[in-house]
Structure 1
Amino acid sequence: MWWFYTVILGMSFGQILGELAQTVREWSRDRARRPFLPAVLWQVFLLVLVVEVWLAVTYYRTTLVQISVLELLAFLAVPGGILVMSFLLPAAQPGQQSDDETPAAAFDRMRPVFFGVLIGIVAINLAHELLISQQGLDADLVFQIVIAAGGVVGLLLHKPAADVALAVAMIAILGVYIGSQYSTVLVEG
C-alpha cells in the first residue's frame, strides 16, 4: 500500500523539481529575466513538505499494522494535495504566462486555490487525528495548526515582500519540525 503513496509523492517531487530547474536554467541564460521570488520560495516549501511527508510515511509504515479506509483516504489526501499544489503554482519566469499577465498577477490569481488546498490538507489531517482520538497537544498537532495558520495568512497577503517572508518562515518551520521530529527515523532500502 505504501508504494502508491510514494508514487504520488515522487510525482509531486518531480513536478516541483522540474519547475525549479526550468526557472534556474532560464535565469542562468538571461540574468535580466529574474524569477518571481515568491513562486520560487513556495516551490521550495512544497519540496520540503514532500520530504516531511515522506519521512512521516517512513515512520508510519513501520508502526501501523492495520489501516482503515478512512485513514487511507486521509493519508492519500496529503500527497494528493501537494501534487495539486505543485500544478497550481504559476511559472516563476516572466513570459511563461499569457502576454498581459505578470508572474505576480498569476500568483495572485492562484492564491486562493493554492492556500485553500494547503488549509484543506491540514484540515483533513486534523479531522483524521480527531477521529482516531489522538490525546493531548503534541508537536505534530502544533505543527499542523501553524501550517494552517500560515495558509490563512497566505490567503490574506497581497504583497510580494510579505509572500517572501511567509514562505521563508514556513520553510524554516518545516525544517525545524523535520529536525526535531524525524531526526531518528530509520530509513530502510
Structure 2
Amino acid sequence: MEKATFAGGCFWCMVTPFEELPGIGGIVSGYTGGSVENPTYEQVKTGQTGHWEAVQITFDPELFPYERLLELYWQQIVPTDPDGQFHDRGSQYRTAIFTHNEKQHELAVQSKKALEASGRFSKPIVTEILPAAPFYPAEEYHQGYHKKNPKHYKEDREKSGRDAYIQEHWKETT
C-alpha cells in the first residue's frame, strides 16, 4: 500500500470521489504543509498556520494506479484558482499535490503538463506539486463527514458550485 495526499479545497468534498474504488484502503481528512504541529481546525481555518486542508489516501497501486488517482484529482478542483476552491476562500483551501516519492513527483508533473497542454483551461494551472509534509488527521467529526451529516454535506456541496463546475468542465469524462 502507498499513500497519496491531495489538497483540493474543503476536505469533506475530496473524500467521496475516491472512496469505495477498488484498491483504495482508506481516506483520512487532515492538514498538511503548515508550520504548527498537530493543528486544530480552529487554528487552520484562520489561514495563519500555513496548512492546507487535504486528504491522505491509502491505495494499492496494483489495483488503482497513482496515475488514475491524479486523473480523478484534477477533475475535482479548479486548478487555476490561487485563492481557494469554490466558495471556500483562503490559503487553507488552495490546491496542491503532495508527493511521497520521486515516482509520484514525476507522474504529478507529467499530469500537470498534460492538463496545461490540453487547452481545457484558459488560465494558468496554479496547483502546486510539493514534497509530502507531516500530515495531521483532522478531528474525528470531520472524518467521513458526508456519512455522519449527509443533509448538511449535500447542501454545502450544492451551494459551493463544485458539482456544477465538475459537470461543466468534465462532463465527457464523468
TM-score bracket relative to the smaller structure: under 0.3
Q: Which structure has more strand as a fraction of its residues?
A: 2
Q: Which structure has more helix as a fraction of its residues?
A: 1
Q: What is the TM-score of this pair, normalised by structure 1?
A: 0.25
Q: What is the TM-score of this pair, normalised by structure 2?
A: 0.27
